[in-house]
Amino acid sequence: MQRVTKAAIVLLLALFAFGLGAGTAAADPTPSSPSGAGVGPSSGKNLPKDFPAELKQYVAGTEEFKAGPWFKGGCKDLGGDVGQYIQGSMAQESKLLFWSLSDADREKISKSMAGQNGAWVGKSLFDTFPAGDTSFAPPSGFCADDLKRWASKTTTVWGFDWAEKPDPSSLVLMKKQPNADKVPDERWNRTTACSKANSKDGGQLYCAHSFFLNCEQANQGTDLSRCVEWNVRIGKLFGGTWNWVDKNKSVADRIKETAEQVVTSSPGFQATKAYVDGWVSVYKAGAAIKKFVDNPSNFIDDWANSFKETAVNLTNGILKNLAGVGEFRDLFSPWFVRIYAISEALGLLVMAIMVMLVGKSISGGHIPRRDIIPILFRDMPGSVLAMMIVPVVVQWMLDLSNGLTDVLLKLVQTTTPDLLNNLIEMWYSMDQESLLGGALMAIVCFGMVIIGDILLLVGMLMKVVGVPLLTVAIAIGLGMYVHPRWRRKSLAPMATVTGLIFSTPLLFLGLAIVFNIMNSAALRSSTGTGEIQSLTQICLVAFCMIIMGIAPWTLLKWFPILPTASDAQGPSMSPMGAAGGYGVGRMAGDAMTSARNQATGPSVMPTRGDNGSTGAPGPRGQSGPPGANTGSGLPTYGVDKKSGMLTPQTSAPTGGGARGSAQRSFGSAFNQGAASRIPGQFVKAGAAAAAVGVPMAAAAAKAGARTTAQAAEGGVPRPD
């Protein structure tokens, strides 16, 4: 009954795969986002007090934003109408800018401007361009999914970020727009346009509106036309900006210097992120990262400052750009197919060897005789069949995983901008008074955050490397399936690759959970921090990042299809191991011993001097008289004249832990049985034994290494 159930499940999975495969074959690799995607926190309670109601629809995460016109209409299945959103929010740009400043800065500006205009809180800070003039605004009808294709996919509210600069053909057309040829060259590049040097005299407007697309990323003629249309409109915007700045210099002069400095240094105005992030900067606005220690007096304080800065910047950068990292697309490319064919051939070779071993085991009585038929006629063809469909199955799993990831990415995107703002706010307020443990704890805690960030990034890249490696390992491992003893080992890579592929959606699911946890932790800190509370919060954040980062690494444990030490047990194995891998194993064992000896050597050198008189080094291989051990339990060592390696002088255990059973059989095989049985066994086993013996030697080396941890003194004795 169980087998029928299993078969039914297999059948269902196959039908499901068929349906899914037929569907995904026709589908665009980048699925369209559901409507309402990329929104910030669901409640508006973090908006500043007195935030005007008519501006709420331009701030991502509010109910008004989610109900906005950009998610209805033609772009509703394609991620939302970004052009329409920018049109609307640009008309309110100066107000949104004002509200994106921190409370303190808003106060400052209100005070400084009150004298000139009377009560003006909520009115525009200064005139911007184009404000409400839609003839200079970007066109509507441009959906987020298309912009993603022409720019770059990242974790912002809208799911993309603009290109660094427009492609050369577009640039030619852009410069032909009215007055656009007068715009200096460095403004046509986002990085240079946003640099400090260029941010005066209306220059910040170029930076804030550098909505460039790279039209070389279009994939068909009409796509190219639309992309160029957008770029040309931005060219018109730049031309109009130049014209406006030229004519309105006096307006710019009217703004007091302090106000302009505050505005241009605010994160709300930094580059073009304000728009792609849906102006979430109004939620929590803060100035630059506050130093941890204001007047660093020693290097620990300096390090605390830099660790904090690095942790904040790194977290910012990595969390924002998690999307689009680590996808392996080459499973059916010619180079991989070639390599996979070779690995299939290797798998068949392994299968041939395994069948020989099966024969030996059967004749030795370890496998029941009646199993030979199922092994030959069921497992062998089954393995070959399975080897052929492995890439198809892996590709199906990859497609499934990518689809799941895209869905889960939306979950993450909803919290990332809000989280980052909260995190920055939490860390902003953290200084040596508020963090328990001071500068040293800052180094440790922010260090952990940095480590967590890097692990997270590298963990996501693991899939790119891991999937092809494991696919090849599966093919080779399937060769081992015919041998009952190795069956479990051969299935290990399959489990690993499944785990690895589905670790990405799980990672994003975990990230969504973790981000929410971090978010609520960060939020709580803004309401007042006790000393231990801030420490706990930062450790929680670091812990969350590290957990997410190391999750894929635990899978590495299962990668090797070579046998481990546990497979070295049992008398039936050791003759083969001894016969085939004797020479290699000896050298490996010796290397491990000498490595261990050298590692512990210096610490026990002094005792050698103590033994000088009584413990004369015996001839190589023989046990010298037990030297005058100081009773500390440490072995004594002398230099082996022949090989120059340190070897133990005594062979009696000095009270160290018991040897592992693997070591025992290994040692016994070497010592007693192997010495006499080697010639005959070696001749009989031949090449097959060598193939098995090499991994056995590796296992033996591992077993040897394990016993070093138990402080057992015995080395590998050398029979002559």
Partner 1 sequence: MKDYTNIGGRRGGSKSSAAAETSVWKQYRLLIIAAVVIVVFVAGTMFALNRADSSEASTTEAAAANLGAPHGPNKMVNKVIPAGYSHDKSGAATAATNFVQALSNTYQGRIKADDLRAAVLATNPSEALNKALGTAAGRPQTKDVFSQVPAAAAVQSYTENEAKIAIWAAGVTQSRPTPGEVTVQVPWSTTTITVTWQDDDWKVSDYKFEAGPEPGQVSSVNGGSPLAGELVAGYYSFYVN
Q: CB 619 → partner 1: shortest distance, Å?
A: 42
Using CB under 8 A, count the residues that bind partner 1. Answer: 56
Of positions 115, 118, 221, 631, contacts partner 1 by CB under 8 A: 221
**Taking contact as CB under 8 A, which single stretch among the options 46-54, 369-377, 453-461, 706-714 is the one that binds partner 1?**
369-377
Of positions 365, 528, 631, 644, contacts partner 1 by CB under 8 A: 365
560 in contact with partner 1 (CB under 8 A) = no
Q: CB 379 → partner 1: shortest distance, Å?
A: 8
Footprint on residues 148-177 left by partner 1 (CB under 8 A): 149, 167, 169, 172-173
9 in contact with partner 1 (CB under 8 A) = no
Of positions 157, 183, 193, 218, contacts partner 1 by CB under 8 A: 218
What amino acid is encoded at 645 in this protein? M
Instruction: Give dist(CA 507, CA 556) in Å, integer.
Output: 16
What amino acid is encoded at 23 in this protein? G
Of positions 121, 389, 461, 652, contacts partner 1 by CB under 8 A: 389
137 in contact with partner 1 (CB under 8 A) = yes
Q: Which is nearer to partner 1, 10 or 683 (CB)?
A: 10
Q: CB 327 → partner 1: shortest distance, Å?
A: 13
**Taking contact as CB under 8 A, which single stretch among the options 229-237, 466-474, 475-483, 682-690 is the one that binds partner 1?**
229-237
Q: CB 395 → partner 1: shortest distance, Å?
A: 12
7 in contact with partner 1 (CB under 8 A) = yes
Q: CB 173 → partner 1: shortest distance, Å?
A: 7
Put residue 711 in one of left, alpha, beta given phi > 0 → left and psi -120 to 50 → alpha.
left
Q: CB 550 → partner 1: shortest distance, Å?
A: 34
SS3 sequence, 643-684?
A: CCCEEECCCCCCCCCCCCHHHHHHHHHHHHHHHHHHHHHHHH
Q: Which is nearer to partner 1, 304 or 380 (CB)?
A: 380
Q: CB 127 → partner 1: shortest distance, Å?
A: 21
10 in contact with partner 1 (CB under 8 A) = yes
Of positions 39, 215, 262, 703, contacts partner 1 by CB under 8 A: 215
Beta bridge partners of 648: 637
Report CA 519 to chain centroid distance, whole Å: 20
226 in contact with partner 1 (CB under 8 A) = yes
Handedness of CA 257, 259, 263, 265 (dihedral sign): positive
225 in contact with partner 1 (CB under 8 A) = yes
Q: CB 586 → partner 1: shortest distance, Å?
A: 33
Q: Which is nearer to partner 1, 22 or 288 (CB)?
A: 22
Q: At what angle do helices 531-550 and 380-428 cross, to 10 degrees?
A: 160
224 in contact with partner 1 (CB under 8 A) = yes
381 in contact with partner 1 (CB under 8 A) = yes
Q: Which is nearer to partner 1, 117 or 220 (CB)?
A: 220
Q: Report which secondary-structure segment, H or E, holds 152.
A: strand 152-153
Binding mask 421-440 for partner 1 (x = CB under 8 A): --------------------
Q: Which is nearer to partner 1, 570 or 633 (CB)?
A: 570
318 in contact with partner 1 (CB under 8 A) = no
Q: CB 219 → partner 1: shortest distance, Å?
A: 5
SS3 sequence, 35-104?
A: CCCCCCCCCHHHCCCCCCHHHHHHCCCCHHHHCCHHHCHHHCCCCCEHHHHHHHHHHCHHHHHHHHCCHH
**Taking contact as CB under 8 A, which single stretch among the options 36-44, 353-361, 381-389, 615-623 is the one that binds partner 1?**
381-389
Instruction: Give dist(CA 680, CA 673) in Å, integer.
Output: 12
Map residue 29 onto helix, strand or coil. coil
528: Cβ contacts below 8 Å, ≥ 6 apart = none
Map residue 161 onto helix, strand or coil. strand
Beta bridge partners of 637: 648
Instruction: Give dist(CA 392, CA 568) in Å, integer.
Output: 35
367 in contact with partner 1 (CB under 8 A) = no
117 in contact with partner 1 (CB under 8 A) = no
334 in contact with partner 1 (CB under 8 A) = no
On whether the CB atoms of residues 278 and 157 are closer than 8 A, the answer is yes
Of positions 117, 219, 298, 676, contacts partner 1 by CB under 8 A: 219
141 in contact with partner 1 (CB under 8 A) = yes
Written as six digits, the tokens of 674 are 């192997």
Of 456, 458, 455, 470, nearest to 500 (Cα)? 470
34 in contact with partner 1 (CB under 8 A) = no
Instruction: Give dist(CA 361, CA 18) in Å, integer.
Output: 40
On whether the CB atoms of residues 575 and 673 are closer than 8 A, the answer is yes
32 in contact with partner 1 (CB under 8 A) = yes
Q: Which is nearer to partner 1, 47 or 137 (CB)?
A: 137
CA distances from 269 to 93, 248, 552 (A): 10, 20, 38
What amino acid is encoded at 287 in this protein? A
Q: Which is nearer to partner 1, 192 or 395 (CB)?
A: 395
259 in contact with partner 1 (CB under 8 A) = no
330 in contact with partner 1 (CB under 8 A) = no
CA distances from 665 to 470, 572, 660, 699, 715 (A): 32, 11, 9, 12, 14
On whether the CB atoms of residues 127 and 94 are closer than 8 A, the answer is yes
Q: CB 492 → partner 1: shortest distance, Å?
A: 20
Of 718, 711, 701, 717, nearest to 604 (Cα)? 711
Written as six digits, the tokens of 402 are 């990518």
Report CA 97 to chain centroid distance, whole Å: 34
Binding mask 46-85 for partner 1 (x = CB under 8 A): ----------------------------x--xx-------
Chain residues in the site for partner 1 (CB under 8 A) = 3, 6-7, 10-11, 14, 18, 22, 25-30, 32, 74, 77-78, 134-135, 137, 139-141, 146, 149, 167, 169, 172-173, 215-216, 218-226, 228-229, 232-233, 365, 369-370, 373-374, 377-378, 381-382, 385, 389
